[in-house]
Structure 1
Amino acid sequence: MPTPYSPSIRRRRLSSELRRLRGESGLTLVDAAKGIGMGKSNLSKIEQAESRTVPSATLDKLLDLYGVDDHATRASLHELAKLAGEKGWWARYKDLMPQMLADFEAEACALRSYEAQVIPGLLQTPTYADAIFRANQVRDDEEIAQRVAARIKRQEILHRVDPPTYMAILDEAVLHRQVGSPEVMAEQLRHLVHMAARHNIDLYVLPFSAGAHPATEGSFVVMDFPDPRDASIAYLETPVTSMYLEEDRQVRLFNDMFGSAQSCSMTAVQSLALIDRHLHDLEE
């Protein structure tokens, strides 16, 4: 299955390259903006990946100003600008899932997730996801169906020929919290066991006996990307917004939290044994 384009990744990379080139040319943001006849705020948006597109003419002016003569470099940056404007499948669900999340997941080579409340979205069954969305009682059946479809579509990254590695730490509470009916939970736990058998997926349960632990502040995901030019991202979701953190110190903090939480968790074998016990209890 081909990897869909991720406009956000392309925009980040193009912006990073343009900032680097401006720095190497010794120009300030104000100088560069004046040099191509553009407002400072507009150029700042381009450099911060806030502009969805960079017109070809604008890009040429910037490259001329920065003294970029190499044809291959110019062609590469124009290709990035072109791809940055492409829409992935998730554009159809833009109002139904966190902004840019699927963009980043589509490009990630590794994901590390800690989940304190429910099964991570990438591992949910359709019936479990349906029950999660129905917990918000203001959604109608049509919207719920669309949200479930979007969530299941996101999961395709785990089934690619070259899937990302996925490490998920589940708080033990996730296994005890009945979402939907016992049948829904049993199906979900069977799915967890099935997914954990994949070579690219590792599941760990953080037991109640661990007590206070480094990840008590809530769920999060850290995503790494195959191209070294693309900085890792820590993702957090709240009821009103989604946060994407990419400063080195921020990502390092979440990596440390994940590592510490993993050290407090059961091993993968012990975790699957616990999941199996919960499944057995549900099926009795």
Structure 2
Amino acid sequence: MNHPISPTVRRRRLARELRRLREGHGLKLSTAAKDASVPQSTLSNIEAAEARRIKPRDIDALADLYGSSDAQRAALQELAQESKEKGWWSKYKDVFGGNALPDFEVEASMIRMYQCQVIPGLLQTPAYAEAVFRGGGAYTDDEVRRNVDARIQRQYTLSRHNPLHLWAVIDEAALHRRVSDPSVMREQLQHLINMAMRHNVNIQILPFRAGMHAALSGSFFLLDFPNELDPSIVYTETSTDSLFVQESASVQRYVTIFSNLNAAAHRPAESVGFLQETLESSEQHVD
């Protein structure tokens, strides 16, 4: 499987680059739209990273207006073209909805995350993932299968060529949440230990004895990207909605929260020992 392209990330990059060019020429959006003969609503949507169908002639007109070089023009056209592509996750709209987390994961260079209730999806075994989706009794068998399949597909980002770096802080509570079949949890714990040995995966356990901490409001993902034109974002979700936080001050607040969690949690090597002890303890309590 080739490294997928994220149309959303490309739209964001194109938006920032066109806005930078326009502001570099001291032009208001309305003036640039008029001078390039591009509808103002179209340019506004492109610069807001909301345009789904971008015409090559509009990019050419803007490149002409901004005096772009041939190489720069070609790069803008390529971004516009890539912004139309569809990733594998588009086949799972019933699972991910309109805001698809994989749309950002596939191009992220690092994900820093905190998970408080369950093992993070990127680190789940198929059996554990199935137990998670069956837990509330809200899904049919087919829906469970769809959700598990989609979750396992997401994990490719950890094993692809040039994989992303995952740094996960997991609350101790997630290790003790029971599943109906204890062997599923034992397999999951062993999988965490195995994953923690990978060069691109850091796992830290936040123990109960850490007490009150910086992320009592809940789980979150902090995604960083390799290209400086793609600023970091934060992803959080509720039972009914998902939210991407892009405003820099808000993102920085999550960076601080993660730093505090990192300091409060066991070091990675200690965390592996903690997981091993938890696994051994669960094996001793086999019915």
User: What TM-score bracket applies, with the shorter chain setting the length?
Assistant: over 0.9
| Kept after mapping to 2: 8 A contact 1:8/1:100 | no
Q: Distance in 2 between matches of 1:32 and 1:183?
A: 63
Secondary structure in 1 matching 2:72 = helix
Q: Distance in 2 between matches of 1:7 and 1:221?
A: 20
Secondary structure in 1 matching 2:230 = coil
Partner of 2:71: 72
Partner of 2:112: 112
Identity between Structure 1 and Structure 2 (%): 46
Partner of 1:253: 253
Q: Distance in 2 between matches of 1:179 and 1:232?
A: 35
1:54 aligns with 2:19: no
Q: Distance in 2 between matches of 1:179 and 1:242?
A: 26
Instruction: Give the count of matched residue pairs.
Output: 283
Task: State the Cα distance separating 1:115 from its structure 2 match.
Answer: 0.4
Q: Distance in 1 between matches of 2:65 and 2:240?
A: 41
Secondary structure in 1 matching 2:257 = helix
Partner of 2:82: 83
Partner of 2:233: 233
User: Where do 1:205-216 residues align within 5 Å?
Assistant: 205-216=205-216
| Kept after mapping to 1: 8 A contact 2:122/2:155 | yes
Task: State the Cα distance separating 1:2 from its structure 2 match.
Answer: 2.5
User: Where do 1:1-284 residues align within 5 Å?
Assistant: 1-68=1-68, 70-97=69-96, 99-284=99-284
Task: State the Cα distance separating 1:27 from its structure 2 match.
Answer: 1.4
| Kept after mapping to 1: 8 A contact 2:38/2:61 | no
Task: State the Cα distance separating 1:100 from its structure 2 match.
Answer: 2.8
Q: Distance in 1 between matches of 2:272 and 2:104?
A: 28
Task: State the Cα distance separating 1:58 from its structure 2 match.
Answer: 1.3
Secondary structure in 2 matching 1:202 = strand
Q: Aligned in 2, Cα 1:59/1:135: closer, same or farther, shift over 3 Å? A: same
Task: State the Cα distance separating 1:38 from its structure 2 match.
Answer: 4.2
Secondary structure in 1 matching 2:94 = coil
Q: Distance in 2 between matches of 1:38 and 1:57?
A: 9
Q: Distance in 2 between matches of 1:151 and 1:100?
A: 12
Task: State the Cα distance separating 1:244 from its structure 2 match.
Answer: 1.2
Task: State the Cα distance separating 1:268 from its structure 2 match.
Answer: 1.2
Q: Distance in 2 between matches of 1:282 and 1:84?
A: 48
**Quick one: which amino acid aligns to residue 233 of structure 2?**
I
Secondary structure in 2 matching 1:96 = helix
TM-score where L is the length of structure 2: 0.95
Q: Distance in 2 between matches of 1:100 and 1:81?
A: 20
Q: Distance in 2 between matches of 1:117 and 1:203?
A: 15
Q: Distance in 2 between matches of 1:198 and 1:170?
A: 17
| Kept after mapping to 2: 8 A contact 1:128/1:180 | no
**Quick one: which amino acid aligns to residue 95 of structure 1?**
D
Task: State the Cα distance separating 1:39 from its structure 2 match.
Answer: 4.0
Q: Distance in 1 between matches of 2:262 and 2:13?
A: 31
Task: State the Cα distance separating 1:180 from its structure 2 match.
Answer: 3.7
Task: State the Cα distance separating 1:73 from its structure 2 match.
Answer: 0.6
Task: State the Cα distance separating 1:22 from its structure 2 match.
Answer: 1.1
Aligned CA-pair RMSD? 1.4
Q: Distance in 2 between matches of 1:156 and 1:180?
A: 27
| Kept after mapping to 1: 8 A contact 2:166/2:202 | yes
Q: Which 5+ residue runs of structure 1 have no aligned equivalent? A: none
Bigger shift: residues 96-105 or 143-152 = 96-105
Task: State the Cα distance separating 1:53 from its structure 2 match.
Answer: 2.5
Q: Distance in 1 between matches of 2:60 and 2:188?
A: 52
Secondary structure in 1 matching 2:169 = strand
TM-score where L is the length of structure 1: 0.96
Deviations 1:8-30 (A, max 9, x none): 11111001111111111221112
**Quick one: which amino acid aligns to residue 59 of structure 2?**
L
**Quick one: which amino acid aligns to residue 121 of structure 1?**
G
